[in-house]
Chain A
Amino acid sequence: MTVTSNHVVPLDGSLALGREVVGNKGASIGAMLALGLPVPPAFALPIDECRRYHAAGGVLADDVWEAVLGSIASLERETGRRLGDPEESLLVSVRSGAAVSMPGMMDTILNLGMTDEVEAGMGRRARDSEFARATHVRFCHEFGHTVLGADLDPPGAGATARDVRAAVLADTGHAVPEEPLEQLRAAIKAVFGSWSSRRAIAYRKHWGIPEDGGTAVIVQAMVFGNLAERSGTGVLFTRDPLTGEPEPYGEWLPGGQGEDVVSGTHDCLELAALKDAMPDVGERLVDAGRLLEQTNGDVQDIEFTVERGRLYLLQTRAAKRSPLAAVRIAVDLATEGAIARDVALQRVSVDQLALVLAPRLPAAVAETAEVLARGTPACPGVASGRVVHDSDAAEAAAGDVVLVRPTTSPDDVAGMIAATAIVTERGGSTSHAAVVSRALGRPSVVGVGAGVTAAFGDREITVDGSAGVVYAGALDTEAVEVADVPRLEDLVAWAREISPVEVLDHAPEVVDVQPIGVGLAEGAPADPDLLAEQLRGAPAARGALLATAEGAEAVLRSGVPTVVRTADQHAATLLLRLVQARSPSEEKR
């Protein structure tokens, strides 16, 4: 592709375009192409054009539109497809791309270019009119919602594009354009317009982000894994995201498209199946993963599609990983020399470490204990207490109690605060009880079944909010040791080396930090300045507050040389807090 004008830039890797020019997503596509990786062709309207658009009072200048048409022609040449052509139809995605992530920016629109004729042609080629219908319906719904602001329920199973178009028109007074170029023009204007959404303006004002920035528009050809032989879609993790083992892990769905893999509605095959079916594609994919991991310095989660035996990478990003994998991956990457040790220490959050080290029910205990009920795990953790059946009793109780209710409502919040754990009979993971228990950090199991809890009486029970099980009796939990967690000993050793404050089990003279005067109610953060004042000159400090980010900051400001852990604190967690407080993450977010 050639540069047709500076109003539109091709993302072909020929120009090093930073995120200040084409936004995060545009820069990421450009970077992949610059590495020589296969990415569907794309172009961007740079952030400057957003400024011009707003300076002109929300008008897309004719020369800009001409440049867009030129770039579409380039996409058509490269793909051998044309917008609106029923036989060889080009469909594109349209995304916003600001330089910094912020709310208010327009969501992605997929399958732009869909018309009744394209739907019919696509159905013939895929020998699957159902897929063509669903794609068209989805486009109309997405366009109606995102560009026109329609407030509609998700389309039903048998809905046609005509139904959705009518619903959008009825709700907004505007029609989803029938003509692909009109769709594109409206989508581009909507992306630029989203920079001035109320939400984006409020966010920038609060965070001091300059108003004169803008968002780029990324237009990319779509590829399909379901329209021909030797096609499919999948996702590759460059390491196992569950265990952190340094082996690529992936899922492959032959003949699948787009969200089929991510949505979990289809049974996917393992990566080996792709390697068997198309060895060259499998090899190229794993090589690309290795290159992207090296370049980006972190485990990658890569979405890909294979169209007629040709591999396309759609997106790469730092992979989500289990807390256990986060520890192993951080240490392995540092050991391999891919990242520095202090970077590795920023890669594991204190919350992740706390989850890894959370006390758990020993398997032997869980197996032999009497199970009273099973339900949906709503908030992780294990806690015990005597059963109370109403919130007033929970508030009035002296010892540890578990609040057991048919359901909860705003009435019950005070009782939930007073309880160590919560069980409900009805409702699922989005119920009031689930949301509030998570907000409070109280282990909870919801939806154990109508009438089940009457038999609990007022006995003692144990709630395992991670597994979704309620046991009879107050069961003992076991501590998890650093040595039990793969690679954690290395990470803790590095933290000890770097931390300017030592963390000990005991010290001859310790100042116990009192929450009074530095924090407010339970759950409210402490003021690091006040806390540092209280600590100044102390030989060593100890207290629950020191496990918080504010507490660690105060320790560093006060110059206290030693923190002594309390019985229920892990030295590893305190060390990680201190190390992360000292060098606020320099990683790009």
Chain B
Amino acid sequence: MTDIDLMALHGLVVRKAGSPAAVAAVLGADQGEVSAALHAAVAAGHAVGRDERYMVTPAGRTWLDERYPIVYAEFRADPEATASYDRFERINRDLLRLFTDWQMVPSPGGPVPNDHSDRDYDNGIINRLGDAHERALTSLERFAALQPRIGVYAQRLDNAYDQVLAGDIDYVSGARIDSYHTVWFELHEDLLRMLGREREEAP
């Protein structure tokens, strides 16, 4: 197995299902190579699908789970990675609260869905997103020094954040697009898998 075979399957499992183009975007890799690797994964029984949609099989997940500790042994043992991850977790907690505050506005009688009529309220949260984003970029730089591939997420987060500032506010937490929340969760999933950690459910 070459590195791209592992990475293609890893990129696919982070997104759950997707096209070679989508997986290549997660990895910042060449689409042709990813496509070939996904073909190989299907042949090995690690994935199913064709053309524009592939999914990881249970056998593929097991294979990945066996490979991670070997491939990422050095990364997992690196104190710099652990320290960076602790910082990441702190940003994560702030972001999760922020997404919720973005969606639900405190109101007498209980929170109501944000209808975005209060610009001060929205701008306050966009501010917090900006704070978290700047911290996230610092954190990603530290990760990218150890795993250059992680740098790709900085561009995707930047893009989501720029869309928000441009007034396309669905890019805060929209579920059908590469919103900040969508990209952040993929990044989180990616880090958890590399580091062999379990997701702590958010309060």
Residues on A facing B (Cβ under 8 Å)? 101-105, 107, 151, 153, 198-199, 202-203, 206-207, 241-242, 320-325, 349-352, 355, 379-380, 407, 409-414, 416-417, 426-432, 434-436, 438-440, 521, 523, 589
Contacts and interface: CB of A to CB of B under 8 A. Distances in A.
B147 interface: no
B175 A413 contact: yes
B175 to A, nearest CB: 4
A414 B15 CA distance: 11
B135 interface: yes
Interface string B98-122: 0110011111110011010101100
A409 B190 CA distance: 12
Contacts of A431: 96, 201-203
A440 B173 CA distance: 10
Give the interface centre of A351, A355, A411, A431 by most chain B CB atoms within 10 Å: A411
Contacts, number: 128
B141 interface: no
A87 to B, nearest CB: 37
A523 B201 contact: no
B104 A199 contact: no
Give the interface centre of B15, B112, B120, B138 by most chain A CB atoms within 10 Å: B112
A355 B112 contact: yes
B174 interface: yes
B81 interface: no
A430 B199 CA distance: 14
A432 B185 contact: yes
Contact of A410 (B104, B130, B185, B202): B185
Interface residues of B, number: 48
A151 B124 CA distance: 18
Interface string B185-202: 110010000000001011
A359 B199 CA distance: 36
A352 B108 CA distance: 13
B199 A199 contact: no
Interface stretch (B3-11, B32-40, B68-76, B160-168): B160-168
A410 B108 CA distance: 33
Contacts of A438: 100, 103-104, 113, 173
Given A430-B100, A432-B185, A416 B175 contact: yes
A199 B103 contact: no
Contact of B202 (A320, A323, A379, A432): A432
Contacts of A436: 175, 181
Contact of B108 (A202, A322, A411, A427): A322
B51 to A, nearest CB: 17
B176 A101 contact: no
B109 A103 contact: no
Contact of A435 (B99, B123, B165): B99
Closest 7 CB pairs of A and B: A351-B115, A241-B108, A427-B201, A430-B96, A411-B16, A439-B175, A322-B109
Contact of A440 (B123, B166, B175, B199): B175
Contacts of B127: 103-105, 107, 199
Contacts of A198: 130
B201 A407 contact: yes
Contact of B106 (A101, A320, A323, A439): A320
B25 interface: no
B50 interface: no
Contact of B100 (A105, A407, A434): A434
Nearest to A194: B127
A435 B100 contact: yes
A435 B106 contact: no
B125 to A, nearest CB: 9
A206 B175 contact: no
B109 A101 contact: no
Given A320-B105, A322-B112, A429 B100 contact: yes
A242 B181 contact: no
B90 to A, nearest CB: 6
B35 to A, nearest CB: 21
A550 to B, nearest CB: 14
B23 interface: no
Given A199-B130, A432-B202, A438-B100, 13 more contacts: A101-B120, A103-B130, A198-B130, A203-B165, A241-B108, A321-B108, A322-B108, A323-B112, A355-B112, A407-B201, A410-B15, A429-B203, A439-B103
Contact of B135 (A102, A151, A242, A416): A151
Given A410-B14, A410-B185, A430 B119 contact: no
B152 interface: no
Given A321-B108, A351-B115, A427-B201, A410 B165 contact: no
Nearest to A318: B118
Contacts of B21: none
A435 B103 contact: yes
A325 B115 contact: no
A390 to B, nearest CB: 12
Contact of B123 (A102, A351, A523): A102
Contacts of B106: 320
Give the interface centre of B14, B17, B108, B109 by most chain A CB atoms within 10 Å: B108
A560 B202 CA distance: 49
Given A320-B106, A435-B96, A435-B181, A153 B186 contact: no
A264 to B, nearest CB: 10
Nearest to B100: A430
